[in-house]
């Protein structure tokens, strides 16, 4: 069921009957929640009012129709119109019923450092369900689903998508019933949820973005990519090529001083990198992950001066400056916790569950948010900060009340809203133990999200593949890191790491000072290529050319709107003796046009590249990669 409401007597019954409806120009907005936005001539809203006068409940079904994007959004307002209290036990945002058809369900499961693996399973009789009870949208399942006809491929066939614009607990259910009809539901999880609503109050269910393609998954993805970049992301950076950054985390972890950051900036400047980001470890007395979360004051001893001096030193190198924060957290070893132990989420009388030695602050409480907000602003006001990485490194536990999980997420959104309003010129990147909160809700505030703590180029072909079904390339933070890779121990060459990371908001995450001269030359080359290719990669239509869970190679490409420029990326994932030349069929080009490979000068016919494929010669080495920039020949 999509909705379950309990009245004061404990009866769970609502019979919703039609009351009225209205169609108006523009897209509805949701109070306190992220939602698709559009101008009055880009969208229409349909509002259907249903009611049960005996139960004292009114439900407003909100539909936002964005015709050009081919999406319909759906949200629900639940009003207590009676005189007693009611409790919402379950509230989905959307429900689709298919009266015929045999379907596969595609979902994106994962874990820390291996997010959004695609899994496609046939939906038999019964219910298939997945979701999150971790307080965030989670590493374990992304709040996204595709229902596809069994023969649907990238290029052909019916498929329906649902994407939840929400960063907390969710639930997705697909059911095939006894008469072979299929129902797809997406909305708030009913686990650890029981929301009291007093007389006169309204509850808002976050929205789902629905879309349909008759031409396979690529088309469905394009619709979602356009909707997210044009109608979800609000940041002024959403349509810009983002600065290439170097992040201090895998370069130094907690072990740095102000000089380390300035050295990174110097190296960055000499290589053409635009920005240095000081990650975790700059505040309180934090030299490991046991202390100081909640104490957002600069560790001037560690930095060898004030933050504003450090920012000036970095800027003096001609490099921008970014900083890491994790506002939702507190360590027990912190001044904040010593002063306000009751601000951490816990069940009275019980020891709270620790994860990464930290507790979650109760962001459902305004005084808690206000304290952290003031502390963070006092830091940001010390100099020109160009970028902020907002992290969130544990799940929610100790859920002490049925309204907590939802009110917590609304608290986070309230904080983010205040932050982006006060600092519109800061580029914000989301993060949660890598990609544990990679969702459309977060993209409303931050135009990019760190895709995964796993920077291994080979694993990344899968992570970024799964992520690309709903989220645009421009939203995926992707960095070149050191080898052997810190998460997998694998060695890949600089070229392969670059080709994979360039299919995202690009950067580096290693000690630049330790790079060989050869690698430094490669980095300079990569940055040149990125500046050339980024507008096509980030704004063009993205095509998955292989499924890296099955194919010998991972391959993808982007084509600009006029089909004049394309960038192809490929990595050989599995090599063997006597490997023949392999062909990858390109997509999205103009068949009647010819395209020149910018590097080799070879000219190919668009039709041939799409029918026969682009030939790739296997060069020896581990995981060789290919990057081809194509220009239409006038």
Residue number, 60 or 134, with CB nearest to ligand GLA: 134
- Whether 447 and 466 have beta carbons less than 8 Å apart is answered as no
| Nearest in space to 274 (alpha carbons), one of 246, 247, 249, 313 | 246
Q: Kind of pairing, strands 427-430 and 103-111?
A: unpaired
Q: Which is nearer to ligand GLA, 324 or 380 (CB)?
A: 324
Q: In the bound complex, what is the minimum distance in angstroms from residue 570's beta carbon to ligand GLA?
A: 27
In angstroms, rounded to a whole number, what is the distance separating the alpha carbons of residues 107 and 137? 14
Burial letters for 525-555: b for 16+ Cβ neighbours within 10 Å, e otherwise? Answer: ebbebbeebbbbbbbbbbbbbbebeebebbb
Question: In angstroms, what is the minimal distance from the CB of 556 to ligand GLA?
Answer: 24
Q: Which residue number, 326 or 362, has a Cβ lying nearer to ligand GLA?
A: 326
SS (H, E, C) 305-327: CCHHHHHHHHHHCCCEEEEEECC
Catalytic residue among 274, 391, 456, 541: 391
Q: How far is the CB of 349 from ligand GLA (least distance, A)?
A: 31
For 390, phi then psi, to 5°, come to -95, 110
Q: Which is nearer to ligand GLA, 289 or 493 (CB)?
A: 289
Place of tokens 């979701």: 131
Which is nearer to ligand GLA, 27 or 116 (by Cβ)?
Answer: 116
Distance CA 333, CA 338 (A): 8
**Beta carbon of residue 588, minimum distance to ligand GLA (angstroms, whole number):** 33
Kindly state the tokens that stand for 200. 């006169």
Please tell me the total number of residues recorded for the chain in this structure: 634
Least distance between ligand GLA and beta carbon 450 (Å): 6
Q: Which of 70, 104, 274, 453 is catalytic?
A: 453
Minimum CB distance to ligand GLA, residue 392 (Å): 9
Instruction: Please confirm, yes or no, whether 391 is among the known catalytic residues.
Output: yes
Nearer to ligand GLA, 38 or 482 (CB): 482
CA distances (Å), origin 358, targets 5, 333, 421 = 35, 9, 29
CA dihedral sign of residues 23, 26, 32, 34: positive
CA distances from 222 to 154, 184, 247, 506 (A): 11, 22, 30, 21
Please report how the helices 517-539 and 494-501 are oriented relative to each other, as an axis angle in degrees rounded to 10. 20
Between residues 172 and 392, which has the closer beta carbon with respect to ligand GLA?
392
Q: Which is nearer to ligand GLA, 293 or 410 (CB)?
A: 293
**Beta pairing, strands 582-584 & 614-616:** antiparallel
Structure tokens at 192: 């650890």
CB of 332 to ligand GLA, least distance (A): 17
Shortest separation between residue 44's beta carbon and ligand GLA, angstroms: 40
Please count the other Cβ atoms lying within 10 Å of the Cβ belonging to residue 20: 10
> Is residue 362 annotated as part of the catalytic site, yes or no?
no
**Which residues of this protein are in contact with ligand GLA, per CB under 6 A?**
249, 279-280, 324, 391, 393, 431, 433-434, 450, 453
Torsional class of 134: left (φ above 0), alpha (ψ -120 to 50), beta (otherwise) = alpha
CB 50 within 8 A of CB 62: no
Smaller CB distance to ligand GLA: residue 172 or 482? Answer: 482
Tokens in use for 599? 């590097």
Residue number, nearest CB to ligand GLA: 280
**Closer residue to ligand GLA in complex, CB, 158/453:** 453
Q: Which two tokens stand for residue 270?
A: 């000499």
CB 97 within 8 A of CB 181: yes
536 half-sphere exposure, CB direction, 13 A CA radius = 25
Count, in order, helices (H) and strands (E) of the chain. 13, 33
Q: State the Cα–Cα distance between residues 204 and 224, nearest whole angstrom.
A: 23
Strands 202-213 and 625-632 come out as: unpaired
SS (H, E, C) 459-475: HHHHHHHHHCCCCCHHH
Rounded to whole angstroms, how far apart are CA atoms 606 and 587?
9
Q: Which residues are catalytic?
A: 391, 453
């Amino acid at each position: 069921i999509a909705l379950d409401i309990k009245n004061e007597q404990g009866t769970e019954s609502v019979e919703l009957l039609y009351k009225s409806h209205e169609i108006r120009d523009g897209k509805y907005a949701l109070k306190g929640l992220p939602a698709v936005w559009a101008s009055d001539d880009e969208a229409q809203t349909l509002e259907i009012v249903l009611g049960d006068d005996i139960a004292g409940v009114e439900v407003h079904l909100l539909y936002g129709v964005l015709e050009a994007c081919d999406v319909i959004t759906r949200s629900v307002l639940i009003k207590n119109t009676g005189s007693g209290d009611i409790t919402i036990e379950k509230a989905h945002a959307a429900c689709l019923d298919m009266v015929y058809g045999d379907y596969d369900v595609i979902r994106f499961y994962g874990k820390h450092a291996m997010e959004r693996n695609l899994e496609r399973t046939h939906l038999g009789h019964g219910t298939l369900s997945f979701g999150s009870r971790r307080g965030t949208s989670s590493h374990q399942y992304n709040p996204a689903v595709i229902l596809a006809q069994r023969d649907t491929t990238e290029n052909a066939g019916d498929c329906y998508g649902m994407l939840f614009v929400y960063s907390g607990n969710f639930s997705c259910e697909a059911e095939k019933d006894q008469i072979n009809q299929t129902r797809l539901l997406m909305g708030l999880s009913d686990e650890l949820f029981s929301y009291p609503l007093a007389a006169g109050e309204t509850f808002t269910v976050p929205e789902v973005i629905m879309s349909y393609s008759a031409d396979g998954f690529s088309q469905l993805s394009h619709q979602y990519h356009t909707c997210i970049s044009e109608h979800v992301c609000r940041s002024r950076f959403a349509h810009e090529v983002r600065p290439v950054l170097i992040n201090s985390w895998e370069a130094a972890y907690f072990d740095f001083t102000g000089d380390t950051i300035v050295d990174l900036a110097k190296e960055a400047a000499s290589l053409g990198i635009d920005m240095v980001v000081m990650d975790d470890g700059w505040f309180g007395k934090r030299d490991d992950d046991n202390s100081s979360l909640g104490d957002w004051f600069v560790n001037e001893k560690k930095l060898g001066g004030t933050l504003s001096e450090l920012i000036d030193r970095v800027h003096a190198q001609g490099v921008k400056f970014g900083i890491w924060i994790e506002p939702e957290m507190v360590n027990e070893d912190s001044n904040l916790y010593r002063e306000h132990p009751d601000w951490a989420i816990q069940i009275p009388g019980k020891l709270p569950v620790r994860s990464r030695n930290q507790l979650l602050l109760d962001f459902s409480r305004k005084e808690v948010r206000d304290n952290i907000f003031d502390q963070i602003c006092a830091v940001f006001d010390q100099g020109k900060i160009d970028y902020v990485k907002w992290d969130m490194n544990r799940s929610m536990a100790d859920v002490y009340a049925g309204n907590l999980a939802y009110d917590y997420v609304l608290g986070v959104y309230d904080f983010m809203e205040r932050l982006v309003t006060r600092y519109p010129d800061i580029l914000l990147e989301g993060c949660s133990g890598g990609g544990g909160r990679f969702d459309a809700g977060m993209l409303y505030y931050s135009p990019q999200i760190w895709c995964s703590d796993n920077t291994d180029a080979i694993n990344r072909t899968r992570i970024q593949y799964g992520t690309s079904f709903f989220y645009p390339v421009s939203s995926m933070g992707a960095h070149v890191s050191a080898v052997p890779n810190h998460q997998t121990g694998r060695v890949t060459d600089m070229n392969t790491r670059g080709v994979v990371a360039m299919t995202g908001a690009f950067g580096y995450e290693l000690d630049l000072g330790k790079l060989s001269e050869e690698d430094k030359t490669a980095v300079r080359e990569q940055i040149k290529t990125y500046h050339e290719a980024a507008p096509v990669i980030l704004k063009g239509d993205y095509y998955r050319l292989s499924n890296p869970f099955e194919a010998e190679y991972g391959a993808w490409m982007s084509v600009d709107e006029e089909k004049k420029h394309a960038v192809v990326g490929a990595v050989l994932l599995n090599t063997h003796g006597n490997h023949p030349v392999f062909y990858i069929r390109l997509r999205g080009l103009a068949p009647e046009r010819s395209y020149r490979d910018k590097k080799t000068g070879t000219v190919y016919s668009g039709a041939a590249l799409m029918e026969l494929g682009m030939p790739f010669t296997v060069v020896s080495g581990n995981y060789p990669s290919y990057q081809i920039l194509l220009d239409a020949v006038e």
